[in-house]
Structure 1
Amino acid sequence: MNAFATEPLRGNPAVVCILHKTPSEQFMEQLAQEMNQPVTAFACRKADNE
């Protein structure tokens, strides 16, 4: 995925992680470091009652 661009393959690289549950802050930081990209986003599903 390329962030901040209107054309494919022209913007800053970004990572989007879709997870089943909310990870710890430490996990997110370590994964972002491992991905080594300018932007790392995390999305996770909330419980049905939230």
Structure 2
Amino acid sequence: MAAIAELPFPKSKKGMQAFLGALNYYNRFIQNMAVYGAVLYQLKDDDFGH
């Protein structure tokens, strides 16, 4: 989680999509990653539009 937390927060919708795509790699290593991912996907929609 520390490596993920140190990543800069994306500033665009495309950047957020790339960030979320990179998180898919960690999905198998982090318990309950779907919970964290759901929050980030909601941020993508709220902050960057559909």
> What TM bracket, shorter-length normalisation?
0.3 to 0.5
TM-score of the superposed pair, with normalisation by structure 2: 0.35
Q: Which has the larger radius of gyration?
A: 1
Q: State the TM-score, normalizing by the size of structure 1.
A: 0.35
